Amino acid sequence: MHLTIVGCGFVGLALARQLQAERSQLTLTLTTTREERYAELQPLADQVKICDAADPISLKQALSDAEIAVFCLGPKGDRQVDEDGYRNTFIDSFQCLTSLLPQLPQLRQIIYTSSCSVYGDAQGEWVSESTPTNPGNGHGAVLVDSESLLQAIHQPSRLVCILRLGALHGPGREFKDRFQNLAGQTRPGRGQQFTNWVHVDDVAGAIKAAMTEMWSGVINVVNDQPIRIADLIDRTLSSEGLEPIRWGDDPKTASSGRRVRNTRLHALGYVLKHPKATF
């Protein structure tokens, strides 16, 4: 099997590492936009290509032999990019992919790591794959549009699988690293907003399962237990022996978030390695 991972950031790199035990059974191509990452990625793959997914020449080269393409895209440069930066990353890339499909007859599955942010704020209610998308900002709207572009190219001979990810944690993105600077601070609101998390190892595991079982359609990839942000931060700080956060009670900051169901993920047979957040 020929597999190309387009984008080797946090998720793409975790997937590449999980695939090492199966290298004898696949030809693996990794892409990055940064030449300085070549040495890091080269031992993990048969080929490493410098690729801007919105550029038809480089994307065609990256996918020239791919039977399965996994798109783990992220905005270039600073993480805090505006809506246009998102559009340049996601929409331009999938428009480019669509234009190339007649030249990629061997491509039989496209997997895309999207985000549960497409659901927007559900006032604390449960959402599932059948819940209409309702993004609360321009970034989420771009992700909805990117999903629509991919859904439009799905066909029986070329499956499209969209994995909507929760917030990511794992090595390099531990809870303590995110929240330890909040120790002893006073924050507005009461921290009652629900958050939905998934360990990067489970994201990589779900992608592997999607490839092996040829999943298609939309699947939420989150752990089993949504957690209120106050509980998450308080438990993180407590586990590190740090001073707790103090919450105010500003009604302007009230938001209940959403609780994301992962029923379909379980129904497809995936067993979470990290079913809940641990501290």
Question: What are the structural domain ranges in the chain?
Answer: 2-168+197-222+259-267
Tokens 């940064």 belong to: 34
Structure tokens at 243: 């001073």
pLDDT of residue 248 exceeding 90 = no
pLDDT of residue 76: 66
Mean pLDDT calculated for residue range 20-44: 96
pLDDT of residue 79: 55
Write the pLDDT tens digit of every residue in 46-103. 999 999 999 999 999 999 999 999 999 997 654 578 899 899 999 999 999 999 999 9
Closest CA to 108 of 66, 56, 139: 66
Q: Which amino acid type is present at position 26?
A: L
Structure tokens at 35: 């030449």
Domain range 2-168+197-222+259-267, CATH architecture: 3-Layer(aba) Sandwich (3.40)
Q: Which amino acid type is present at position 134?
A: N
Q: What is the reported pTM?
A: 0.96
Count Cβ atoms within 10 A of the Cβ of residue 34 and give its class: 0-12 exposed, 13-18 middle, 19 or more buried. Answer: exposed
Q: Which amino acid type is present at position 156?
A: P
Q: CA of 147: how far to CAs of 133, 153, 217, 244, in Å?
A: 11, 10, 10, 40
pLDDT of residue 30 exceeding 90 = yes
pLDDT of residue 181: 97
Band of residue 249 on the pLDDT scale cut at 50, 70, 90: confident
